[in-house]
Amino acid sequence: MKYKNIKYSKFNQRSLAKIGKVLNAKPKKIGNYFRYEIVNKLDKRKLALEIYPQIKIGNKKGNMVTVYALNSLMQLHFCSGFIISEELCEVTFIGEINGKLSGLIVEKEAGCSLFANVDKYILSGDFTKLNPEVMISSIALSLAESLIQSKNK
C-alpha cells in the first residue's frame, strides 16, 4: 500500500472529509466550526478537535484550530495550512509568522503535540547536528517544510 502526505492551505468540504478519514472521526458542523471526536478505547484516551475556518481573531480573519484533551486545551491561531499524513495517521496544522512555525499535531490514536515558535530553518538542516531536545520539534514539523516552500514560491 502506498501512503502519501497531502498538503492543504484551505479548509473546505473535501479537506475536512480527508481529515476525518485519517483520524477515523466524522466532522460535525456546529455553528461556524467543525468538530471531530477522536477516541482510542484501548488506551482510554479521547480528544476533541475543532476547526474554525476564517473566523474573526482580533482585528483580522483567519483559521483557528482547537484541541480539547482530558487535562489540556491547545489552540493554534491563524493556521495557514495543514498536512494530512496517511502513513502516520495524523494531521499537522501549521501557523507561520516572521520565520517561526507553530505546529499542532493530532493523531488518530487520540494523541496530540504542540510545537511553538520553531525556527523554520532547522527543518531543512541536518537533524544530527541538533541537540536532542531541539531535534524532536524539527523532525515532528519536517512534513510542513514542503507546505512552507510551496507557499513561498
Of the two residues 117 and 9, the one the predictor is more confident about is 117
Using alpha carbons, select from 106, 34, 109, 26 the residue that is nearest to residue 74.
106
Find, among 97, 104, 149, the residue nearest to 123 by Cα: 149
Of 35, 116, 37, 110, the residue nearest 77 (C-alpha): 116
Mean pLDDT to the nearest integer, 97-113: 93
Domain boundaries, the chain: 5-151
- Is the per-residue pLDDT at 24 higher than 80? yes
**pTM, to two decimals:** 0.87
- The C-alpha atoms of residue 49 and residue 106 are separated, in whole angstroms, by 8
CA distances from 150 to 50, 76, 119, 145 (A): 26, 21, 17, 9
Q: How many CB atoms lie within 10 A of CB 53?
A: 18
Residue, of 132 and 97, whose pLDDT is higher = 97
